[in-house]
A = this chain, B = another copy of it.
Amino acid sequence: MNPFFLFSIIDFLGVFVAAFGGAIAARRDQRYAFDLVGVLGLGFVSALGGGICRDLLIQHGPPLAFVDTRYLVTAFCGATAGLMLDLRVDAKLQGTLMMVDAAALGLFAVAGATRAMEAGLSSLPALLLGLTTAVGGGSLRDVLSGRTPKVFEKGELYAIVATVAATVFVLLRLLSVNHTVASCVGVGCGFLLRLLTIRFHWMTKSASIR
């Protein structure tokens, strides 16, 4: 099977799950009473914000999410599901969501770096833009919810996993490894590392010097 077909599935599943998760998080917010606009809006931002930030920074035409309408439709469906479902997300569904999110984390990092390199940027910016794609949506959601991006605070290794995935991909490409292979290894590294960090509760430490 062509791995890019698998990637495409992970991509849209990732967008759906991020929109769903963003909408649910908005409904659970302790400080603000978000309405339908807020829930859908924060779902959209969670799902598409990272890629849109990347495309603004690359300055190579309108954001992919506005050109390929399937992204908007997928995000809309995910956010609407998050708005409608009144059930408590049970443990089994939670596990599935976590798996999709872990796979999407690596994929978004690799896809972001790929897009930056295709637009002519060099390795270091490409790496940063991969990271931006992976964590930008959630961070923008956090800012729009009146808090600091969660990836900046001590806790789960999320941005670091994305950085590793993008770095592995970029290094393999620098070593002239075939694009398909480099992509698969990068996405796979991100996925496995994310599962490991969850399984073993690896956490980042505070860097405070108060």
A residues sitting closer than 8 Å to B (CB atoms) are 26-30, 32-39, 41-42, 52, 55-63, 65-67, 69, 72-73, 83, 86, 119, 121-122, 124-125, 128-129, 139, 143-149, 151-155, 159-160, 204-210
Q: Is the CB of B35 within 8 A of A205?
A: yes
Q: Is the CB of B207 within 8 A of A154?
A: no
5 residue pairs of the A-B complex, CB under 8 angstroms, read: A26-B152, A27-B208, A36-B205, A72-B125, A143-B143
Q: Is the CB of B208 within 8 A of A37?
A: no
Rounded to whole Å, the gap between the CB of A37 and the closest CB of chain B is 4
Q: How many copies does the complex hold?
A: 3
Q: Is the CB of B207 within 8 A of A151?
A: no
Residue picked from A26, A39, A148, A152, most chain B C-beta under 10 Å: A152
Rounded to whole Å, the gap between the CB of A209 and the closest CB of chain B is 5
Q: Is the CB of A124 within 8 A of B72?
A: yes
Residue picked from A42, A60, A125, A147, most chain B C-beta under 10 Å: A125
Q: Is the CB of A37 within 8 A of B122?
A: no
Q: Is the CB of B204 within 8 A of A36?
A: yes
Determine which of B38, B63, B210 lies in contact with A152 in the assembled complex, contact meaning CB atoms within 8 Å. Answer: B38
Q: Is the CB of A148 within 8 A of B151?
A: no
Known A-B contacts A34-B206, A59-B61; A144 and B154 likewise in contact (beta carbons under 8 Å): no
B residues less than 8 Å from A52 (CB atoms): 57
Rounded to whole Å, the gap between the CB of A105 and the closest CB of chain B is 14
